Structure 1
């Protein structure tokens, strides 16, 4: 698995000076959960990144519920956490991969490829009986170049252009009920983008870890035939889990970052209900 590391590997490498571990735990319904969990106990030497404060920016009319933060501010925060051009970064969350994969995708987007995710998250670490720490790690500031990788992000216009293309597929990572428009607990409109296919993000997980490549290929078997793959979710977080899983099996998708919450911010955009 090219984007994932085990708890054993992290334990063996956690004291390396050229590595930074990032705690990305979050709960959309409880904004203080991540920081409080970090303060109560985290993987030793880990720093904390807040989903709303660090990994997302100001919500505007368009752009969705979790737009990108100011990248200059994000770059500065990364540098202050000890992340530089040569730093190996390992992100983790509770094991559902959503917070870690959002951070992982953002580092890929700014051109930092030496970033990985702890498979199984902090639960896998605890399961191995490895210790936790409540110490706040202080890192020496580093310098990080930003080289935006436009090949992994899709705009709303690009989504529109690919709706009717036989060579393209739009993947909706939300639950089947939300995709069909039967329920919508967060956004103002229910339904899905025309032609989008539903691949619930949690279906790439098994026993609190990412499925092996054979099972991922079976899961995404119908996606393999498409030239262009665009992934989205509600606001650009859980879609990153499907993005990660697709990348694991050699498919190079794009993330529609604004996702459903951006799509419905345009009155003219069509909404479909049902399968």
Structure 2
């Protein structure tokens, strides 16, 4: 079953009480832009999720730039958004799926299977002429009970054990210059985790439109489908579209290293590589 949904398929679900549209627009460095965009215009009935306030917990010494929120707080947010185990969730953003995929992954990790990413995001929805509104959504309070599946998540210890292992693949989802260490502007240390290969996440959604399963399979044709894959980025967000893309392509052993590079470099003893692997 696909993790993607087209605008026409999603439009057919508008008004269904068992379907929730989740608007996850967010621009890194412009903290209020997503919510402001939501207030101006969104898919009718959509509820808003903020990357920092709803999909992340407080930063600490370790754990990365976007650690997971407390499970109870996340479950409460879902319940207040009319989401329970019977709800189908359609997530969208306007950033090529990079932010919405974080909610997709968090729901999968929490044991919720019925979640799909809107192909083309909000811009695609608009371009195809589907309705939008500035009216606030009216949610029905529900109770979401998470059943966390740790097969979706990798710890730093898992990553360290996997370095050099023939049975595991480590994917760095960042822009190539950050992977090689040429761009050292964002983090205190430059480079990548030793052994990682680079698959820039944005190659999976050129022009903001998420590629289908066959195209994603072609992107990752160098990786055997039976291998365990751990994916990371800078802070645990833009790795998520690669996790989704790999899952869509048929890979079944895919995990997210939530802390990602920002967590890895918070430990002085962790090794760093530069250049191409």
TM-score normalized with structure 1 length: 0.98
- Per-residue Cα deviation, 1:84-133 (whole angstroms, up to 9, x for no partner): 11001000001510111000000001111111110110011101112211
Distance 1:212 1:6 in 2: 11
Contact map agreement 1:98 1:238 (CA 8 A) in 2: yes
Cα distance, 1:249 vs. partner?
A: 1.2
Partner in structure 2 of residue 108 of structure 1: 108
Cα distance, 1:212 vs. partner?
A: 2.5
Gaps of 5+ in 2: none
Partner in structure 2 of residue 199 of structure 1: 199
Distance 1:95 1:27 in 2: 8
Distance 2:14 2:88 in 1: 11
> Where does 1:180-219 land on structure 2 (aligned, <5 Å)?
180-219=180-219
* Greater mean alpha carbon deviation, residues 199-208 or residues 154-163: 199-208
Cα distance, 1:186 vs. partner?
A: 2.0
Partner in structure 1 of residue 82 of structure 2: 82
Cα distance, 1:226 vs. partner?
A: 5.4
Contact map agreement 2:96 2:207 (CA 8 A) in 1: no
Partner in structure 2 of residue 159 of structure 1: 159
* Greater mean alpha carbon deviation, residues 212-221 or residues 28-37: 212-221
* Greater mean alpha carbon deviation, residues 31-40 or residues 205-214: 205-214
Contact map agreement 1:95 1:123 (CA 8 A) in 2: no
Q: Is 2:30 the counterpart of 1:38?
A: no
Partner in structure 2 of residue 269 of structure 1: 270
Cα distance, 1:228 vs. partner?
A: 1.2
Partner in structure 2 of residue 96 of structure 1: 96
- Per-residue Cα deviation, 1:34-61 (whole angstroms, up to 9, x for no partner): 1000001001100000000000000001
Distance 2:66 2:183 in 1: 21
* Greater mean alpha carbon deviation, residues 1-10 or residues 33-42: 1-10
Helix, strand or coil at the partner of 1:13? coil
Distance 1:141 1:113 in 2: 20
> Where does 1:219-230 land on structure 2 (aligned, <5 Å)?
219-224=219-224, 227-230=227-230
Helix, strand or coil at the partner of 1:84? coil
Contact map agreement 1:26 1:99 (CA 8 A) in 2: yes
Aligned residues: 275
Distance 2:79 2:29 in 1: 29
Contact map agreement 2:225 2:251 (CA 8 A) in 1: no
Q: Provide the aligned C-alpha RMSD in A.
A: 1.1
Distance 1:206 1:233 in 2: 18
Cα distance change, pair 176–87 in 1 and its aligned pair in 2 (3 A) = same
* Greater mean alpha carbon deviation, residues 41-50 or residues 212-221: 212-221
* Greater mean alpha carbon deviation, residues 222-231 or residues 146-155: 222-231
TM-score normalized with structure 2 length: 0.97
